[in-house]
């Protein structure tokens, strides 16, 4: 079953694992034709693929099997310590929160502490490391609005700090720990000191992107489904999380300039043979360019402008990436048109604006305008964006 699951794409995966199939599994448990142990093994395989690939199965939460597991979690949690099967409870929690979308507060209050306890173990051995990775992967699947601001902050902070000192987690587990933190508590301004200055998110994310990029075979042209290294999956998950973080975060310090530079390096490495990684890189840069808390100078200092212009001129550029590149410059242009009340800041903006214009002129941005003029209307209609058809405006405004 594991081998079959690895060969599936998202469409087939969703077609196979339906509400009807989960209902049938539940029926076979009731009739004692399937053991609970075997069902948990199957759900673990499904959960692993589902979480790593970020595919959601709506069939599970509508099925009677989901109801059975939810009831089992509640019942197992109520048992006395000497009667409780901790391993079973952990397995059930991991499967449930990885496959269920609309989690109840009651389930959250049971599963999150249970899995954080697993991830907090300090023993340095392969078994503990694997258990922590599985628990953190499951936790990273929880949607941000299901938790109260600051809830479980101390636990996840301890997990991250311990890894920074002892390097006890796998790279995939470390990415999952950060995702649990930044996507759940991003809107809480009081966490600025924790995320940015205490745990050094910008520095750590840049370091992880650089380390993970060394593990990827950038020259391998043919993608083999299910055969990606965990490091490659972790790299992709970092970029997907950064798309969200860089679009809305009000947290910023100088270490994020290094992070933008790391994204650019991965972008350049991925552009030939890793389309998905390349796409999430340009999406991260586009969102960062539109975030008023990310200074435009960050894109000048680390080659982001050059990298996006180079992408424009590639003959194999597809529609989605073409639009992301255009949005990058649209966002940068809009930012440069925002006049500042503070005279010192306004002077700095004008200097940056001139540097950006000089860089675009030096790299031949006029050719880019001409080459994209005819297809911009098509891209605009295809992606349902309401933007001016006069693409020149976005460059001329700079």
At 101-148, the pLDDT tens digits run 778 888 989 999 999 999 999 888 899 999 999 999 999 988 755 566
Query: Residue 330: enclosing H or E segment and its boundaries?
Result: helix 319-336
d(CA 395, CA 372): 12
pLDDT exceeds 90 at position 51: no
Exposure string over 29-40, b if 16+ CB within 10 A, otherwise e: beeeebeeeebb
Is 52 within a domain?
Answer: yes
Which string of DSSP letters, residue by residue, matches 349-393? HHHHHHHHHHHHHHTTHHHHHHHHHTTHHHHHHHTT----S-THH
Please answer whether residues 66 and 96 qualify as being in contact, where contact means their C-beta atoms are separated by less than 8 angstroms.
yes
Please answer whether residues 156 and 180 qualify as being in contact, where contact means their C-beta atoms are separated by less than 8 angstroms.
yes
Task: Supply 48's token pair.
Answer: 């692993």
Question: Given this model, what pLDDT does residue 248 score?
Answer: 78
Task: Residue 95: give the domain boundaries.
Answer: 1-102
Is 82 within a domain?
Answer: yes
Is 75 within a domain?
Answer: yes
Which whole-number Å values give the CA distances from 339 to 99, 305, 334, 348, 393, in the listed order?
A: 47, 22, 10, 11, 17
Task: Supply 301's token pair.
Answer: 């200092």
- The domain tally of the chain equals 1
Is 34 within a domain?
Answer: yes
**Cβ atoms within 10 Å of 209's Cβ, excluding its own:** 22
Is 182 within a domain?
Answer: no
Is 185 within a domain?
Answer: no
pLDDT exceeds 80 at position 372: no
Is 298 within a domain?
Answer: no
DSSP helix/strand/coil, 187:
coil
Question: Given this model, what pLDDT does residue 331 score?
Answer: 82
Is 243 within a domain?
Answer: no
Residue owning tokens 């460059």: 395
Identify the residue with better confidence: 240 or 336: 240
d(CA 199, CA 367): 44
What global pTM score does this model have? 0.84
pLDDT tens digits, 217-246: 898 765 554 446 788 999 999 999 999 888
pLDDT class for 253, splitting at 50, 70, 90?
A: confident
Identify the residue with better confidence: 296 or 364: 296
Distance of CA 50 to the CA centre of its chain: 14
d(CA 391, CA 398): 12
d(CA 15, CA 58): 11
**Which of left, alpha, beta for 294 (phi over 0: left; psi -120 to 50: alpha)?**
beta
Please answer whether residues 391 and 376 qualify as being in contact, where contact means their C-beta atoms are separated by less than 8 angstroms.
yes
Identify the residue with better confidence: 268 or 219: 268
Phi, psi of 217, deg, nearest 5: -85, 90
pLDDT exceeds 70 at position 187: no
Task: Supply 222's token pair.
Answer: 């043919």
pLDDT class for 16, splitting at 50, 70, 90?
A: confident
């Amino acid at each position: 079953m594991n081998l079959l699951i690895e060969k599936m794409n998202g469409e087939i995966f969703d077609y196979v694992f339906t509400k009807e199939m989960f209902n049938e599994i539940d029926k076979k448990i009731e009739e004692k034709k399937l053991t609970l142990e075997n069902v948990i093994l199957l759900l673990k395989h499904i959960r692993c693929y589902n979480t790593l690939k970020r595919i959601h199965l709506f069939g599970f939460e509508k099925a009677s099997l989901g109801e059975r597991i939810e009831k089992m979690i509640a019942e197992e949690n109520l048992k006395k310590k000497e009667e409780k099967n901790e391993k079973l409870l952990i397995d059930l929690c991991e499967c449930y929160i990885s496959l269920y979308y609309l989690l109840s507060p009651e389930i959250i209050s049971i599963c999150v502490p249970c899995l954080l306890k697993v991830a907090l173990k300090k023993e340095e051995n392969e078994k503990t490391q694997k258990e922590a990775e599985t628990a953190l992967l499951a936790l990273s699947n929880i949607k941000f609005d299901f938790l109260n601001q600051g809830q479980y902050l101390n636990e996840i902070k301890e997990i991250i700090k311990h890894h920074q000192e002892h390097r006890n987690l796998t790279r995939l587990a470390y990415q999952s720990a950060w995702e649990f933190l930044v996507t759940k508590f991003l809107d809480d301004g009081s966490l600025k000191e924790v995320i940015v200055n205490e745990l050094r998110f910008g520095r750590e994310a840049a370091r992880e992107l650089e380390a993970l990029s060394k593990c990827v075979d950038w020259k391998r042209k043919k993608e083999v489904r299910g055969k990606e290294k965990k490091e490659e999956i972790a790299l992709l998950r970092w970029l997907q999380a950064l798309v969200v973080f860089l679009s809305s975060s009000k947290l910023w310090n100088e270490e994020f300039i290094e992070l933008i530079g790391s994204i650019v390096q991965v972008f350049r490495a991925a552009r030939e043979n890793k389309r998905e990684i390349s796409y999430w890189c340009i999406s991260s840069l586009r969102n960062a360019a539109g975030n008023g808390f990310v200074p435009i100078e960050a894109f000048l200092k680390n080659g982001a402008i050059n990298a996006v212009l180079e992408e424009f001129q590639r003959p194999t550029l597809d529609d989605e990436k073409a639009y992301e590149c255009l949005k990058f410059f649209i966002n940068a242009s809009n930012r440069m048109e925002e006049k500042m009340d503070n005279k010192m800041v306004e002077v700095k903006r004008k200097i940056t604006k001139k540097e950006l214009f000089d860089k675009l002129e030096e790299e031949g941005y006029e050719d880019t305008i001409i080459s994209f003029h005819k297809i911009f209307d098509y891209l605009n209609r295809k992606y349902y964006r309401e933007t001016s058809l006069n693409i020149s405006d976005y460059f001329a405004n700079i």
